Structures are given as structure tokens and as C-alpha cells.
């Protein structure tokens, strides 16, 4: 068995899309297993830039893409993305894309509730993408979600909409937002049904056949461990489990099928939205990282908060996420900085701790304990071999390995697909 799961090891936007695209050349199938169109994965191939939110990044390599049951699907967003990428030259048909029939749908009322709640939270807002992700997962767990397969049963759809609207319109009115009309939603879903149903199937069966035929499966995570609903900086998290274990439940395979877990981390740290960020920089270095790294959210365009590499946090992500190898991206963004800092632990209320505790107040007050390193003068940008890296950059990578207690097995030195250095092939276990 030689499958691989890719997950984010920080707060998202680590470059998962680039790494998935690169590794997809060695895979047969790429599966998304959680999240929704809150994800934004940017792939640069020659002079083409692809931005994917719901579609598995392997489609760019012409690999079979699967959207698993753990994903929440906004049908309008999916169709828009399919049209956009088809216009860019990709082939997206029921032969190249399969969707789990038991995946829950995001409807317009979910986005409306997400946004109305953020307004109501005021200063305490989570800073969600406003795309209805949280409310859609809530409906799934509350057993009232409309799922892809319901599109084939108009009576089921109608009855489920009654239950959904009873719940959502009550909430929306309470928050001062406009309620939704059943007829409008039902008509639109019935229009969407023939567009989506040809892609739908029990993907667990397809994956089981693929597994038995010895096909290589690449599981593509969205978001990251520190945004995980259990293990992240709760409540400033997304509404799904982002750890590698979810690859199994979110696609319908056993845990043994998931294979090697590759975590992706930037050589520094970024975060979009609210919540604790111990190594955040508010100075010129923070601004420099943001400018050089083009740190603007792919989905919302918001500037990303930037800071030093937090090894204590990534070490925690390695442990709870089951990460066996780390891909370090954006090393080039640090080129030329005279001094680099790496966080090795925190001071909370005068006490030194190795990891972020779960309590919100303690997380907010965590002060980073830093170790300083010299930077490097020469460029790493575009390097394609370990030997081409400045000695001090290699030292930085080696120190990170030690601190996060996990080998760095892949390096990325620019947005371009092939500016990648592989030290150990995750498909080889």
C-alpha cells in the first residue's frame, strides 16, 4: 500500500495545492475529504495559474478527482469553478470527477447565517470566509442536511427543505436577516439536480476497487491542524476535522488505506481571520514577509497575518495530525533576512510550556520563546536541489527538523510546480 495524505500543519495556505499537484504525477486518484470552498489552493504551472477551492488539485494533472463525503459542497460554487477551470483548458466530466452521493450540500441560507452570525459577534468574530461552512456542518451533525443523493428524490428534498427552513428562518429572523422561500430553493435545487447527479456515486466503492487494483491514492486536505475543530485554536477554527485521520472517514476507506501522512508548513507562519497567533509580527519584518510571500487570502483577498516560524505549534500539529514527513514551503521568502527567529515554546503567566494549552485565555496570552539564527544572503528561489541551497538555509531546515521532531522530506522554493526538492518520496512509505 502506497497512499499519501497531505494536510496543513499551521493555519492554512501552506502551499498544499502546489505540493498535491506536484505529487499527483505519482498518483492515480486525488481525493478531497473535508472542508469546502473555504479552501483556496493556488497552482502555478508555466504561465498558467489555477485557483481551486472544491475541485481536487490532481485534476490539473489529468488525474481522477474525487470529492468525498466529508466535504460540504456548494453546488453553485462547484459549477462556477468547473466552468472557470474548463475555460482554462481542464477536462472536467463524469469520467474525470466523481462526487460522493452522501456529501452534504451548502445552500444559500448557510452563507446567510454564517455572515449574519459574524456580524452579531462583532469584535469577537471568528473571521470566517462567510461561505456557510460552519452552518452546513452543523446541519450534517444535526441530521437535517440535504445531501447530493437527495437531488434524485424530489419528495425527500421537499420534506427536508421544510425542516431546514423551520430551523434556519427562525434563526435568520432572530438575527435580523432575510428569511428564505421554500419554492425558490426547491426550484433551484431541481434545476441543479441534472447537472450534479451524473457525477454522483458511492465513491467508497470506487476507492475500494482502486485500492484492490493497486492504484495510488493521494488524499488532499484543506485548512490545517491548527484550524481543526478539536485540535485547533478553538473557537477560532473551521468546522471540520482537518487531521489525517479524517481522510478515512471523509472518503469512506479504512484508516490503514490512508498511508503516509505528509504535513505542509511554510518556513514562517501566516493566519487569516481572528484568533491567537503567538509569533505574529506587527513590524517591518511582518510586512516584508506579507509582501514577498504575496500573503493575501486566495478565497477572500484579506491580507494574511504574518510571523516567525512557530516550531512548538508545528510540533504539536505533527503529533496530533499524525504527520510523518514535513514539506517546508516558501523558503525563498526568507532570502536575505539577516536574522531569523524560531519559536520553541511559550511563556504563559510566567510559566514555560512546550505546547499551546486548550484554554482560550491561555492561548491568547501565550508569549513565544525564541531562538535566533543567522539568515542567508544568497537566493534559494527556484532551487531544485538540496546542493543548490546556501549552507545557512540548510542549517535552518535542519534546526526545524529537530525542533518539530519530524524529518523535512520536501522543500519548495517558488510557486512554480517544478521548483521543488524531494528528499524522500512519501509514496515509498
Q: Give dist(CA 429, CA 423) in Å, integer.
A: 13
Q: In 3D, which of 377, 351, 384 has the Cα closest to residue 365?
A: 351
CB 53 within 8 A of CB 299: yes
Q: Does 295 bind Mg ion (CB under 5 A)?
A: no
Distance, C-alpha 371 to centroid of its chain? 29
Closest distance to Mg ion from the beta carbon of 39 (Å):
6
Shortest distance (Å) from residue 31 CB to ligand GDP: 15
Judged by beta carbon distances under 5 to 8 A according to partner kind, the member of ligand IMO, ligand GDP, Mg ion, none in contact with residue 333 is: ligand GDP
Q: Can you name the residues that pair with 44 across neighbouring β-strands?
A: 49, 416
Which residues in the 94-153 window bind ligand GDP by CB under 6 A?
none
How far apart are alpha carbons 274 and 179 in whole angstroms? 28
Span from 11-19, 91-99, 140-148, 394-402 in contact with ligand GDP (CB under 6 A):
11-19
- Give me the residues that bind ligand IMO (CB under 6 A), please: 8, 11-13, 38-41, 126-129, 131, 133-134, 222-224, 227, 238-239, 272-273, 298
Binding mask 24-53 for Mg ion (x = CB under 5 A): ----------------x-------------
DSSP secondary structure string, 391-426?
Answer: HHHHHHHHHHHHHHTS-EEEEE-SSBTT-EEESS-G
Q: Counting contacts by CB under 6 A, is residue 15 touching ligand GDP?
A: yes
Stretch that binds ligand GDP, among 7-15, 236-244, 312-320, 360-368 (CB under 6 A): 7-15
Please tell me which residue in 37, 41, 110, 168 is annotated as part of the active site. 41
Is the Cβ–Cβ distance between 41 and 53 less than 8 Å?
yes
The three cell numbers of residue 331 are 523558503
Interface pick for ligand GDP out of 18, 98, 110, 168 (rule CB under 6 A): 18
Least separation in angstroms between residue 139's CB and ligand GDP is 25
Does 111 help bind Mg ion (rule: CB under 5 A)? no
Check if 374 is active-site: no
Kindly report the number of other CB atoms within 10 A of residue 345's CB atom: 22
Q: Which three cell numbers stand for residue 38?
A: 473555504
For the chain, how many residues are written? 429
Residue 147 neighbours by CB distance under 10 Å: 19
Query: Closer CB to ligand IMO, residue 126 or residue 313?
Result: 126
Let me know if 167 is a catalytic residue.
no
Active site residues: 13, 41
Amino acid at each position: 500500500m502506497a497512499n499519501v495524505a497531505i494536510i496543513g500543519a499551521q493555519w492554512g495556505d501552506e502551499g498544499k495545492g502546489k505540493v498535491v499537484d506536484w505529487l499527483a504525477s505519482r498518483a492515480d486518484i486525488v481525493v478531497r475529504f473535508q472542508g469546502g470552498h473555504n479552501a483556496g489552493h493556488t497552482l502555478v504551472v508555466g504561465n498558467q495559474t489555477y485557483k481551486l477551492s472544491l475541485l481536487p488539485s490532481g485534476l490539473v494533472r489529468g488525474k481522477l478527482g474525487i470529492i468525498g463525503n466529508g466535504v460540504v459542497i456548494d453546488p453553485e460554487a462547484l459549477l462556477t469553478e468547473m466552468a472557470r477551470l474548463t475555460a482554462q483548458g481542464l477536462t472536467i466530466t463524469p469520467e474525470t470527477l466523481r462526487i460522493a452521493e452522501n456529501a452534504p450540500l451548502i445552500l444559500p441560507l448557510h452563507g446567510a447565517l454564517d455572515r449574519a452570525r459574524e456580524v452579531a459577534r462583532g469584535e469577537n468574530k471568528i473571521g470566517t470566509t462567510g461561505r456557510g461552512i460552519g452552518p452546513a456542518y452543523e446541519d450534517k451533525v444535526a441530521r437535517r442536511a440535504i445531501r447530493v443523493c437527495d437531488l434524485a428524490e424530489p419528495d425527500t428534498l421537499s420534506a427536508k427543505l421544510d425542516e431546514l427552513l423551520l430551523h434556519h428562518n427562525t434563526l435568520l429572523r432572530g438575527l435580523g436577516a432575510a428569511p428564505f422561500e421554500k419554492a425558490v430553493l426547491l426550484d433551484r435545487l431541481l434545476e441543479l439536480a441534472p447537472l450534479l447527479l451524473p457525477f454522483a456515486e458511492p465513491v467508497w466503492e470506487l476507492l475500494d476497487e482502486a485500492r484492490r487494483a493497486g492504484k495510488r491514492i493521494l488524499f488532499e486536505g484543506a485548512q490545517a491542524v491548527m484550524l481543526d475543530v478539536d485540535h485547533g485554536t478553538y473557537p477560532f477554527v473551521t468546522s471540520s476535522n482537518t487531521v489525517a485521520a479524517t481522510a478515512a472517514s471523509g472518503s469512506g476507506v479504512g484508516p490503514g488505506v490512508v498511508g503516509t501522512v505528509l504535513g505542509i508548513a511554510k518556513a514562517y507562519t501566516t493566519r487569516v481571520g481572528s484568533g491567537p497567533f503567538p509569533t505574529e509580527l506587527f513590524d517591518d519584518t511582518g510586512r516584508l514577509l506579507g509582501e514577498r510571500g504575496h500573503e493575501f487570502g486566495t478565497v477572500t483577498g484579506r491580507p494574511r497575518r504574518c510571523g516567525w516560524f512557530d516550531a512548538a505549534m508545528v510540533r504539536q500539529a505533527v503529533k496530533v495530525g499524525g504527520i510523518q514527513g514535513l514539506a517546508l514551503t516558501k523558503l525563498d521568502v526568507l532570502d536575505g533576512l539577516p536574522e531569523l527567529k524560531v519559536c520553541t515554546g511559550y511563556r504563559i503567566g510566567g510559566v514555560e510550556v512546550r505546547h499551546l494549552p486548550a484554554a482560550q485565555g491561555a492561548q491568547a496570552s501565550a508569549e513565544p520563546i525564541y531562538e535566533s539564527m543567522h539568515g542567508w544572503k544568497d537566493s534559494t528561489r527556484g532551487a531544485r536541489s538540496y546542493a543548490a541551497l546556501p549552507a545557512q538555509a540548510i542549517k535552518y531546515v535542519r534546526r526545524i527538523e529537530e525542533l518539530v521532531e519530524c524529518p523535512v522530506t520536501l522543500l519548495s522554493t517558488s510557486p512554480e510546480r517544478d521548483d521543488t526538492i524531494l528528499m524522500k518520496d512519501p509514496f515509498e512509505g
